[in-house]
Structure 1
Amino acid sequence: MDYASADVFLWRNKKISAGVLGVATAIWVLFELLEYHLLTLVCHCLMIVLALSFLWSNAATFINKSPPQIPNICLPEKQVVEVASALSKEINCALSVLHGVASGRDIKTFFFVIAGLWVLSVVGSWCNFVSLVYIAFVLLHTVPVLYEKYEDQVDTFAEKAMHEIKKQYAVFDAKVLSKIPRGPSRDKKHL
């Protein structure tokens, strides 16, 4: 059966959603609490698989069973190129956005990006990358279902919050941003 990711995030099938969250929690415990490392885990798993396959292949002759049929695994070049192409497009888009912010054309976007990066740096100082990914994963599994359940209350609160943010930004713009001197516009032609 094929399940859409939205069904998993919205807990339409509680067994699958709980399983996915359980596996993520087990991975987090393994890497964070037990201080296991990814490369070590991959190597240990490969050693176990190779040892079991080797033993099964050699024991098969003694117990008159056929040896395991190990498939030849090969990555299709077309799909690898497509993934690399999509990834390069996303990276180029992000670099373009950063270039636009750095060029100084839009001060509002500049301040939002700086604030976002500052928040990320503060959160990054609180926990490491594995914990951050786990927290994001848990939020992805809890926030959508809570929003679906309490949609009206959240929307009302969000409207009030957006109105207040816009009001505060207007004050900040009037008192600070409007007083920052700006150079000549690039659209004007100089004689």
Structure 2
Amino acid sequence: MADHEEQPHKAESLLEKFAEKIHGHHHDGSSSSSDSDDERKKPSAPPPPKEEEKPKIFRLFGRERPVHKVLGGGKPADVFLWRNKKISAGALGVATALWILFELLEYHLLTLVCHVLILGLAILFLWSNATTFIHKMPPHIPEVSIPEKPVLEFASVLSSEINQGIATLREIASGRDLKKFLLVVAVFWVFSIVGSCCNFLTLFYIAFVLLHTVPVLYEKYEDKVDPFAEKF
């Protein structure tokens, strides 16, 4: 009798375990399906905004490089753009002094060179004799020489600019752009009129002053000059 009573209890416990397993699987399936439904319902992330293309900025004379590169870069461009104010002011001061001497005071180049050499030799001669008389020994006169590297750099830049100008004139003379050809002829005609009114030294000095003023002012106010020039 005891064995018959234990068998129904074992059967009932097995049925209960089986029912719990089925219920558990059903609950897991419903949760996973609900999770998948939630994932589907979630809104997808919006695509990243496309970068707006910046409008092309108009630059004077159609340039695409900075002013420093247009002027050739290096030390000459630094002087024209006043990167070192002492050097730029010194160069402009020397040019102004030479223009005053040769143009206003009507000094001649050969006369100036001879006078400078006479003055320099006289100073060195008197200093040498005074030092020998006081210290009983000859003075040490420093050697003066022109450094080779800056001269070669200046010659290289100058030759490069001249060759570039010749190549530009050759391209204009090829007859491909009539508008540019007429513009260059007009510029040369204006220069010829200006040259008849003043000599070469004054014209060179005016160009030198313009190179020391116009580029640096344009670089400083290019954001205002370019939109104004675009209207024309």
- The interval holding the TM-score normalised by the smaller chain is 0.5 to 0.7
Q: How far apart, CA to CA, are the structure 1 residues paired with 2:218 and 2:196?
A: 29
Out of 48, 65, 68, the residue aligned to residue 140 of structure 2 is 68
12 and 48 in structure 1: CA distance in 2 versus 1, 3 angstrom threshold: same
89 and 146 in structure 1: CA distance in 2 versus 1, 3 angstrom threshold: closer
Give yes or no for the alignment of 1:98 onto 2:181. no
**Counterpart AA for 2:108:** H
Correspondence 1:148-163 to 2 at 5 A: 148=219, 150-161=221-232
Larger Rg: 2
- Unaligned residue ranges in structure 1 (runs of 5+): 162-191
Out of 125, 136, 141, the residue aligned to residue 212 of structure 2 is 141
85 and 155 in structure 1: CA distance in 2 versus 1, 3 angstrom threshold: closer
- The answer for the alignment partner of 1:113 in structure 2 is 184
107 and 135 in structure 1: CA distance in 2 versus 1, 3 angstrom threshold: same
Give yes or no for the alignment of 1:37 onto 2:108. yes
- 1:1-52 deviation digits (Å, cap 9, x = unpaired): xxx6666555577666555433332222111100112222122111111222
Does the aligned pair in 2 maintain the 1:28–1:134 contact within 8 Å? Answer: yes
Q: How far apart, CA to CA, are the structure 1 residues paired with 2:202 and 2:213?
A: 16
Does the aligned pair in 2 maintain the 1:101–1:110 contact within 8 Å? Answer: yes
SS in 2 for 1:63: helix
- The answer for the alignment partner of 2:99 in structure 1 is 28
- 1:124-165 deviation digits (Å, cap 9, x = unpaired): 12222221222223223333444355444322221112xxxx
Give aligned pairs, total. 158
- The answer for the alignment partner of 1:187 in structure 2 is none
- 1:82-132 deviation digits (Å, cap 9, x = unpaired): 766665555444444434444444433322321221121122122222212
Aligned-pair identity in percent equals 66
Q: How far apart, CA to CA, are the structure 2 residues paired with 1:95 and 1:51?
A: 46
Q: How far apart, CA to CA, are the structure 1 residues paired with 2:205 and 2:216?
A: 18
Per the normalisation by structure 1, the TM-score is: 0.61
Q: How far apart, CA to CA, are the structure 2 residues paired with 1:150 and 1:114?
A: 29
Does the aligned pair in 2 maintain the 1:9–1:141 contact within 8 Å? Answer: yes
144 and 91 in structure 1: CA distance in 2 versus 1, 3 angstrom threshold: closer
Q: How far apart, CA to CA, are the structure 1 residues paired with 2:83 and 2:215?
A: 12
6 and 90 in structure 1: CA distance in 2 versus 1, 3 angstrom threshold: closer
Q: How far apart, CA to CA, are the structure 1 residues paired with 2:125 and 2:142?
A: 11
Relative to structure 2, which stretch is displaced further, 79-88 or 92-101?
Answer: 79-88
SS in 2 for 1:35: coil
